[in-house]
Amino acid sequence: LAYALMYVNQETSYLFLLIMGAPLILLFLWRIYRPGVAVLGALAVLVAALIFVLPGEATVDGGHNATRDETGAMQYTPGPIFGWAPLATDDNAYALRIRNRADNDSGRGLLANLGVYMQDLWEFVGHPAVLLALGLTLAALGGLWLMIWGRTGSPWRLARERGDPLAAVLSSLGDGRRWLVALAIFGAVYATFFTAFFTNQIGLITGTSGSLLYWLAQHNVQRGGQPWYYYLVQLVIYEPLLLLGGGMGFVFIAWDLIRIQYAKLTMQKSMLHVAFGIGLIAWWFVGAFAIYAWAGEKMPWLTTHIALPLTLLAAWALQRTVQPARAALAPELLDDNVSSFVAAPHAPFTLLHSSFIVFAALFTLSFSLCFVWMTAIIGFDASVMLRPWMAATLLALLLTLLFVSFGLRWGARWAIAALAVCVAFSGALYTARGAYRLAYQNGDTPREMLVYTQTSPDVMRVIRRLEEASRRRGDGLAMPVLYDNETVWLWYMRDFSKAERTPELLVGPPADAVMAVLLLDENMAQYPQNRQLLDGFVLQRYPLRWWFPEDQIYRLSPGWQSAPLESVSLVGQVLRAPFDRTVEAKVWNYLMFRETGYALGSSDFIVAVRPEIASQIGVGLGGSLNGEAP
């Protein structure tokens, strides 16, 4: 049920299935039929090459729509080796066309539209690379089925006979026809949502084909155009605690694996193990980060898919850190991996124990003093000898002294657990503060990286003041207003009974009854006549949409390593001069206060109003109340 709901809501469900399914299938083959690992690996490489490497590349325009000649043939650069044409999904127009289809599209009936859709679908499926990939997949899966299940004395039967636990788990899916029940639940959710509650039957096909092919097209479009390290920057800004905890999780896993291998090499008996669930979570994070960093479409909201497994891994790492210190209180809490790490603590580790309260108080005092000192240093004049890194160094020294002091008194495990809990709590405060600021303070202001492109609050403010001006005139919402080709005006002007669409170039001076005109700034620049036609109006400019200053904060432009430092993005400056005072100040101000230091990017609009209502609208980025143009 959970995966069905994910499948009908997110195209990334395919990536999740690949990330989680691959290790499970490989584990099955390793336990049951090891040659299948090589077969599956070779199949994956061949299919990836057929879909992403060997097809040609279409010639596209700015919207990534394929350029076609007078016959409608796609213009392209032939692919390597075979000289194949590109896949149909290289054309974004095709992807939008194949994404969904109504039963009554273009006035045709269900069967007619189904036939047209299947013809469109064949444009992709009929490509030699896709046909070959499908053929290889069916042949490989058929061969694996034959070798594992379809012969006398098959590996599957042998595994069942020897009581292999994995074979037993898979066999249990047939008890009470569990797999049929699961398939029925998935099918019910799929059919209900993709047919729009059974009102669009073609959705049974487009639900899968449309979403998958559309995602493939967006991979080529590279919507967002973000660098591969985009999600890493997001995690550093919003989830440093998860990066720290997840890093410790990988350290624990590596340490356990080393100890296991050492025990095997020295022929020692050992109960050490790495739980399968923990290994799967670690792979989940690695696989998610790798595949989302590779995928062409990178958007802020997709960071969730990387942060979730990292959260689970960090939580396990914290538990693993605190667990040894709990031994004095409850020795049975220890597992085999940590039972012989270091000597038991001299006192039980609990959050209400007086020793931990003192430790936490000293930790808080050290952290607070260094935080205040860091803030003061950042505010000092550049000529002051103090540098921000000095505050960070002092904090490290104070925490080291605190750790050693309490470790000598209460034991190393106790000190490690106390420090881990305090660091986790401090990181949680930073995360909570950032989440509150993002959700309730900067939700419509792209000083946050997670705010990708946002309609500015000025738009709603202008609309509300136009509504107020209309009501003050005693017309309700019947004040005549003109608006241009910007699509959002259709929504914002929906309650104005006399709002009318106007071309990008005004056909003439607005009628005397028209009190306001909304035009994109680009239409004012492209058609200077509009300014003349609006003579007598007060013109004011506002941001329509604005966005985060990506180029100045995290993008690494060509030649960033040798360009003047001040012309490089903040991430580039950190990589080149991490101890530069100005760079440290910029990093601190953004992490703590979301001060980008750069203007937000925006596309603007012009509101032109009659002088008699100008004072009710307010002045925007330019213009004045006396009718002067911006």
Residue pair 140/40 in contact by the 8 Å Cβ criterion: yes
Residues with Cβ within 8 Å of 463's Cβ and at least 6 positions away in sequence, in order, are: 492, 493
Distances from the Cα of 183 to the Cαs of 4, 29, 190, in angstroms?
A: 10, 23, 10
Amino acid letter, residue 603: S
Per-residue pLDDT at 481? 96
Distances from the Cα of 432 to the Cαs of 112, 176, 414, 522, in angstroms?
A: 54, 46, 27, 40
Report how far residue 190's alpha carbon sits from residue 232's, in angstroms, rounded to the nearest whole number: 33
Residue given tokens 């809490």 in the structure block: 333
Report how far residue 145's alpha carbon sits from residue 353's, in angstroms, rounded to the nearest whole number: 60
Domain ranges of the chain: 2-221, 226-331, 342-441, 453-548+600-617
536 φ/ψ angles, rounded to the nearest 5 degrees: 100, -15
- Going across the sheet that includes 538-547, the strands are 453-455, 538-547, 601-609, 516-520, 481-483, 499-501
Report how far residue 234's alpha carbon sits from residue 303's, in angstroms, rounded to the nearest whole number: 7
Residue pair 486/522 in contact by the 8 Å Cβ criterion: no
Amino acid letter, residue 364: T
DSSP states of 183-214 as a string? HHHHHHHHHHHHTTTTT-TTHHHHHHHHHHHH
In this prediction the pTM is 0.85
Per-residue pLDDT at 173? 81
Residues with Cβ within 8 Å of 264's Cβ and at least 6 positions away in sequence, in order, are: none
Which parts of the chain have pLDDT scores under 70?
A: 267-274, 326-349, 352, 619-630
Tokens, residue 420: 């881990």
Report how far residue 467's alpha carbon sits from residue 482's, in angstroms, rounded to the nearest whole number: 14
Report how far residue 596's alpha carbon sits from residue 618's, in angstroms, rounded to the nearest whole number: 27
Per-residue pLDDT at 629? 46
Report how far residue 586's alpha carbon sits from residue 597's, in angstroms, rounded to the nearest whole number: 7
Query: What is the enclosing helix (H) or strand (E) of 604?
Result: strand 601-609
Q: State in Å, rounded, how far the first CA of the chain is from the last one.
A: 56
Length of the chain, in residues: 630
Number of neighbouring beta carbons within 10 Å of residue 128: 14
**How far is residue 264 CA from its own chain's centroid?**
41
Per-residue pLDDT at 621? 44
Report how far residue 103's alpha carbon sits from residue 580's, in angstroms, rounded to the nearest whole number: 63
CA geometry: angle 270, 260, 415, nearest 5 deg: 90
CA geometry: angle 274, 280, 285, nearest 5 deg: 120
Number of neighbouring beta carbons within 10 Å of residue 235: 18
Report how far residue 529's alpha carbon sits from residue 437's, in angstroms, rounded to the nearest whole number: 44
Per-residue pLDDT at 178? 86
Q: What is the per-residue pLDDT across 591-603, written as a single tens digit (0 to 9) for each?
A: 999 999 899 999 9
Amino acid letter, residue 431: T
List helix spans (H) across 53-164.
Answer: 92-99, 110-125, 128-148, 155-161
In 3D space, the residue among 127, 116, 142, 120 whose CA is nearest the CA of residue 43 turns out to be 142
SS3 353: coil
